[in-house]
Structure 1
Amino acid sequence: MSTSSFALRLMDVHVSLAGHEVLHGIDLSLTAGRWSSIVGPNGAGKSTLLKAMAGLLPVTGSIFLFDQTLMAMDRKQRAQQLSWLGQNESASDDLRVWDVVMLGRMPHQDWLAAPSAKDHAVVETALQATGAWDWRERSLGQLSGGECQRVLLARAMAVQAQVMLMDEPLANLDPPHQVDWLEQVRCLTSQNTTVVSVLHEVGMALHADDLVVMQAGRVVHQGPCADAVTHRAVEAVFGKRIAIHALDGQWVAVPKF
């Protein structure tokens, strides 16, 4: 496979926080147009890895975004190609929902320029897709945690980036809206958007195309979600306290007592 087939490539990436190395020589290639989900026990380094991919942390080693060195790209170019939804993100409670989602269009706007007709159309599409359209005139402070999460997802979608990075995007979402999120991810990948997520819900992560399995700051396995070897790797990093089985045409993770 040529390097141009990869949306993100990491080569010997190390990350240290407060003088302590938390990622140890990560080598990873993520295929463009697919959904990869990062899983592993608490403290495995999942969120740190995602932040490194976003260019939010200093690293040693190399990270490439579509064959360009990530940290050598100017900020606007990087912001147009990489969309970020962080864990426990927030915005000012006084902001209108519409304005929060319009922030996703900033990488495409000139300094102090008014939003274009395209910006308005993209924001409307994102709000409709996440079921947040009816709240567009409400302030963020008037919404529940799950509703806020859907607005922040709409903001990330409004960037129309080639790569979307999402850390715990299902936080505060009830089961029906988790299904809505899955459908949105499938829609994005059908349009050749690359999605990378960190999910604690292993059962939801198993809906991805590929899993990246982490333990103690290292990637211990990468492979298709339907692969039995991938299932065994996931079970192993959780101390064989879960088991993965097929049920009604999908993979599920169940606890083992």
Structure 2
Amino acid sequence: MTAVEVRDLRVTLGGAAVLAGVDLTVEAGEWVTIIGPNGAGKSTLLRAIGGLVPSTGSIALFGTPAARLPRRQRARTVAAVMQSPVVPPGMAVFDYVLLGRTPYVPPLGRESSADLAAVGEVLTRLDLDRFAGRLLDTLSGGERQRVFLARALVQGAGLLLLDEPGTALDIGHQQDVLELVDQLRRDAGLTVLATMHDLAIAGEYADRMVLLAGGTVVASGAPVDVLTEELLATHYRARVRVVHSEHGPLVVPVRSTRR
């Protein structure tokens, strides 16, 4: 089944065209990573798919036009972790993550014991259980990033949108988060659509990669076909060396020669 099908997607913000006719398909259970230089439209693409910015063109989620999905049904279908989400003041970590279960709570009802158990399980898997009673705004940037992911995971949606999931995370927790997401993808059939700046590890997790530049798709395919020295030099204006590893290509920056 196709999880995401985007056709001729266009987004204009502040009078400027950010996305200029993007086509994208993501199959159920697949991990697709979107890369591209600053201003390419990566985050806007995710926000449009998540229904967070107005767009033209068509977006279908698991075979249903996104515009036809009621809000609660859409929340059960798509979970998103965007950059710099609003942090509610005075809210404890457990309560914030529990908000991810809202689509399953009946109107005027309360969370069930199963909802509470789901939150506890996700907090444990993300090494956050010891922070359950802490106020969210007292955590470090990396700790908050894991809490944002926990809220999205506890939502139980089939599609997970991740906008720069490694933001503010040290390399150890970055690996923990990506490995957990990949495990859920393999064990539960989760579909992942992510944006990543860190090309050093982006190719190790994606089944496919999409390179955006100037609001359009300029390359798409297996990581080995997209993470090439030629494409990165052209669209990032970067000097890099691509090293092929067991799990995918690794991108290493190379300094220019000094005289």
Query: Is residue 7–residue 23 contact of structure 2 (8 Å, CA) maintained in 1?
Result: yes
Give the secondary-structure state (helix, strand or coil) at the position aligned to 2:209: strand
State the TM-score, normalizing by the size of structure 1. Answer: 0.93
Q: Which residue of 1 aligns with 2:235?
A: 237
Aligned pair in 2 of structure 1 residues 116, 88: CA closer, same or farther (>3 Å)?
Answer: same
- Spell out, residue by residue over 1:78-100, the C-alpha distance to the aligned partner (whole angstroms, 9 max, x if none): 01100011101132241111000
Moved over 3 A (4+): 232-236, 247-250
Report whether the alignment pairs 1:101 with 2:64.
no
Q: Which residue of 2 aligns with 1:10?
A: 6
The CA distance in 1 between the partners of 2:58 and 2:247, in whole Å, is 39
Query: Is residue 220–residue 226 contact of structure 2 (8 Å, CA) maintained in 1?
Result: no
Give the secondary-structure state (helix, strand or coil) at the position aligned to 1:15: strand
Give the secondary-structure state (helix, strand or coil) at the position aligned to 1:206: helix
The CA distance in 1 between the partners of 2:73 and 2:168, in whole Å, is 31
Percent of pairs with identical residues: 38
Q: Write the mapping of 1:1-257 to structure 2, written as runs, cut at 5 A.
A: 5-190=1-186, 191-207=188-204, 208-225=206-223, 227-228=224-225, 230-231=227-228, 232-247=230-245, 250-256=248-254, 257=256
The CA distance in 1 between the partners of 2:38 and 2:149, in whole Å, is 24
Deviation at 1:204, TM superposition (A): 2.1
Query: Is residue 227–residue 242 contact of structure 2 (8 Å, CA) maintained in 1?
Result: no
**Cα RMSD over matched residues?**
1.5
Query: Is residue 37–residue 212 contact of structure 1 (8 Å, CA) maintained in 2?
Result: yes
Deviation at 1:136, TM superposition (A): 0.5
Give the secondary-structure state (helix, strand or coil) at the position aligned to 1:107: helix
* Unmatched 5+ stretches in structure 2: none
The CA distance in 2 between the partners of 1:58 and 1:222, in whole Å, is 25
- Spell out, residue by residue over 1:145-195, the C-alpha distance to the aligned partner (whole angstroms, 9 max, x if none): 111111111001000100000111211100100110111121121121001
Deviation at 1:251, TM superposition (A): 2.2
Query: Is residue 33–residue 195 contact of structure 2 (8 Å, CA) maintained in 1?
Result: yes
Deviation at 1:110, TM superposition (A): 1.1
The CA distance in 2 between the partners of 1:168 and 1:77, in whole Å, is 25
Deviation at 1:248, TM superposition (A): 6.1
Query: Is residue 210–residue 226 contact of structure 2 (8 Å, CA) maintained in 1?
Result: no
Deviation at 1:31, TM superposition (A): 1.4
The CA distance in 2 between the partners of 1:160 and 1:203, in whole Å, is 29
Aligned length: 252
Query: Is residue 213–residue 234 contact of structure 1 (8 Å, CA) maintained in 2?
Result: no
Deviation at 1:66, TM superposition (A): 0.8
1:215 maps to a residue whose letter is: A
Give the secondary-structure state (helix, strand or coil) at the position aligned to 2:183: helix
The CA distance in 2 between the partners of 1:10 and 1:113, in whole Å, is 36
Aligned pair in 2 of structure 1 residues 109, 35: CA closer, same or farther (>3 Å)?
Answer: same
State the TM-score, normalizing by the size of structure 2. Answer: 0.93
Query: Is residue 101–residue 151 contact of structure 1 (8 Å, CA) maintained in 2?
Result: yes
* Unmatched 5+ stretches in structure 1: none
Query: Is residue 80–residue 162 contact of structure 2 (8 Å, CA) maintained in 1?
Result: yes
2:49 maps to a residue whose letter is: M
- Spell out, residue by residue over 1:187-221, the C-alpha distance to the aligned partner (whole angstroms, 9 max, x if none): 12112100111111111211221111100000111
The CA distance in 2 between the partners of 1:88 and 1:133, in whole Å, is 22
